[in-house]
Structure formats: C-alpha cells, structure tokens
Chains A and B, each alone.
Chain A
Amino acid sequence: MSFCEWLARELGRVGIAGSTRRRIVAEIEDHLACDPEAQLGEPAALARQFADELGTVRARRAGFAAFAALAIAGLLYGAAFLVGVQGFARHRSSLPALALIGGVLAIVGAQVAFVAGALAGLRAFRRRRSLVVPRAEAVILGRRATVGLVSGLAAMAGLGLLAYRNGMPTSENTFVVVAASAGAVALLIAVPIMVSALRLRPVGDGEPGDVFDDLGALVPPALRGRPWRFALAVAVVLAVVIAVAGIVQQDPYDGAARGIADALACLGGFALLGRYLGLRRS
C-alpha cells in the first residue's frame, strides 16, 4: 500500500471524507512527486493532525455561527412577541391545544436557545486562539450549537402556531409570521456550518471543561468549582430580578410567582441539560 493510499484510509478513519480527503491526498501526492524522500511522518499521525486542526476550526465556527444566527433570530423574536402579544391577549384561539403547544415552544424554546447559543458563542470566543481543542470540548461546542439552533427553530415555530388563530388583526398576525419565518431562515443558514462541525471532530484527548471555563474570572471565587451552588445563585438572582420587575410594574405577587417559576425552570434546565451542554462535569 502506498503512502497516499494509507493516508486516504487514515483520513477516512478520523472522519475526513469527500472532497477534503481527495484534496489532501492530491497535495501530498504532489509533494512526494517533488521529493520522494520527504519526511511527512506516519499517515495515521498526519490524519489525526488534520482532524485536530480542521475539527477545531469547524467546532469554533459552529459556535460563532450559532451565536450570530440566534442573536438575529432573538431580535426578530423580541419584535414579533412585542407586536403579537397584544393580539394574543385580545383574541382567544379557536384551537386552544395548538396555542398551548405554540406558547410552550415559544417560551421554553427561546430560553433554552438563549442559554445554549450564548454558551456556544462564549466557549468559541474563549478558544478563539486555540490551534487544537480536545475532542470532548468540540463535542460540547457542537451540542451547544445544535441545541441552540434546534431550540431557536422550535421557538420560531411556536410563534407561528401562536399567530395561527382566528380573530387576530391581519397586520399583527402577518408581522409575527414574517418575523418568525425570517428568524427561522437565519437559523437555517447556520445549520450547514453546524453539520460540518459534527461530521469532523478533533481526535485528541482532554477535558471538555465546564461553566467555569466559560465564565472564568466572572464567577465569584466562592462559587468556582461548585456548579450546583453556582446554578442556585443564578436561579436566586433571576428570581429577585423578576420579582423586582413585578414590583416596578405594580404587580408584586405576579412578579414573585414568575420569579420563582423562572428560578425553578433554571434549576430544572441545569439538572436536565447541564451535563450534556458541558456546564458541569458530573
């Protein structure tokens, strides 16, 4: 078996296929034609180096792309919600089950998308100068991007379902549907970037990191290395902020109830997705 045949096989083993593999093999063939004695190293090591370096670039790009797409979608979501909420409140849905599903998707999806997208962008930013990240960390970046984009799409679909009701003024309805569709398009544009990161990942060993690697010095020293205590602190801050907003809006009981509900949702989300999204290690 020639060096290039061996290299092609090893590239396939680390997940490099198609045009990228053909191009690498063609370049190495040309190099060996120029210098048959060239010291190119072991094919397996060379293939791993390609996977490490290209996988890192792709994982980081997926994190940034998901963050950017979700930022655009978030602005559209906010505008749609502000415009649509008036109509949603005035007009009862003729399909209450559909409206309920839409509401759950729009609210839960948006919150999960916000957290996952922000974490994806944050980790990508933290690793912006890294030549190589461990496979475990690239997996976490891919998961954050995927969960962010999927949840964002679910939120946009939820908005669409909420708008689909009788008696709602046409202009509000149309605006919500158009904004949700535009947000969905922004998210869909980032999907191929995410898929390319999922197809090729680094192969190196190492730790995936956790929320303290994301936030670094922003976390007070007393909370560092204690993910559950950190999650509890975030939930309490969230509850207080929402309760204070309720007081400002002269509806303190509603504010307190929503604050407690959001704090519980925050802790529930941390329990369900914390490990999957690389917020905690165990």
Chain B
Amino acid sequence: MRAEALKGHLDPLILAVLEPAPLHGYAIIEQLKQRSGGSLSLPEGTVYPALHRLEAGGFLSSAWSDGNRRRRVYRLTRAGRRELGARRGEWQSFAAAIEAVLA
C-alpha cells in the first residue's frame, strides 16, 4: 500500500498497535508491518514525529526503559484508548459506506 494512502490513518494504526502492550519505536513499526502482513510499508521516519505528536496530544505517554539498551517505550493513555475507540467507529462507518458503493 502506498504511503500516501496511509496519510490520515497513521494515528489510529499506532494507537491500535499499542493497545495490547507498551512498545518502543522500532517495535511499533515492526508490529505495523507484521499485523498488516507486510502491506503497510510506510517510510519509517514518519512514525517518530507521529509518536511525539500523539504524546504531546495526551494520547500516549512514554518513558525510558531500564533494559540493556536505553529505549523510549510508548504506552496508550486513557485518552488514547478513547481516541482509538472513536477512530475505530469512524473507520467502520467509512469502510461500510465505501464497501456499499463498490460492491
């Protein structure tokens, strides 16, 4: 899928990937690839500004991990979970409408 087509959908994708457990930047990108079966191959650099923006917006929180390597680990906040729920609802309505026309 082209990166251009993903614009506007990156935020809910990141929120969804972080829903089960906190992850660091590289793992988030890997999860996006894995969960999409390799279809979502976006420029990796674009994820980091989005992570910072989502954190500034209160949807994510982050902290340095204490493991062998110093890593910034992101987790969903309560506001992030609410936002994810809202974006899922929006997407389902949108997808259903497009599907109804294309089918």
Q: Which A residues contact B (CB, under 8 angstroms)? A: 20, 23-24, 26-28, 30-31, 33-35, 38-41, 45-46, 49-50, 52-54, 56-58, 61, 131
Contact = CB atoms under 8 A, between A and B. Distances in A.
Residue with the greatest number of chain B CB neighbours at <10 A, chosen from A28, A40, A53: A53
B65 to A, nearest CB: 10
Interface size class of B (residues with CB under 8 A): 20 to 34
A197 to B, nearest CB: 11
B57 interface: yes
Nearest to A7: B45
A94 to B, nearest CB: 51
A31 B52 contact: no
A53 B44 CA distance: 16
A24 B24 contact: no
Given A23-B72, A41-B43, A41-B45, A30 B24 contact: yes
28 contacts: A23-B72, A24-B48, A26-B70, A26-B72, A27-B71, A28-B48, A30-B26, A30-B69, A30-B70, A30-B71, A30-B72, A31-B26, A38-B44, A39-B43, A39-B44, A40-B45, A41-B43, A41-B44, A41-B46, A45-B45, A46-B45, A46-B48, A46-B49, A49-B45, A49-B46, A50-B49, A53-B49, A54-B52
Contacts of B88: none
Contacts of B57: 57
B53 A54 contact: yes
- Chain A CB within 10 A, most for which of B29, B56, B69: B56
Given A30-B25, A40-B45, A61-B56, 8 more contacts: A20-B52, A24-B48, A24-B52, A40-B43, A49-B49, A53-B49, A53-B52, A131-B8
Q: Is the interface of B mostly helix, strand, loop or mixed?
A: helix
Pairs of residues from A and B, 3 with the lowest C-beta to C-beta distance, nearest first: A40-B45, A41-B45, A53-B53
Given A27-B25, A30-B24, A33-B69, A40 B44 contact: yes
B79 interface: no
Contacts of A33: 69
Given A27-B25, A30-B26, A34-B26, A54 B43 contact: no
A31 B8 CA distance: 24
Interface string B1-35: 00000001000000000000000111001000000
Contacts of B46: 41, 49
B49 A54 contact: yes
A60 B54 CA distance: 14
A241 B54 CA distance: 44
Contacts of A30: 24-26, 69-72
B50 A53 contact: yes
Contacts of B70: 26, 30
B26 A50 contact: no
A33 B70 CA distance: 11
A46 B90 CA distance: 29
A231 to B, nearest CB: 35
Contact of A57 (B48, B56, B72): B56
Given A26-B70, A27-B25, A38-B44, A58 B56 contact: yes
Contacts of A58: 56
Nearest to B10: A131
A35 B44 CA distance: 11
A46 B71 CA distance: 19
Contact of B53 (A23, A35, A57): A57
Contact of A50 (B29, B44, B52, B71): B52
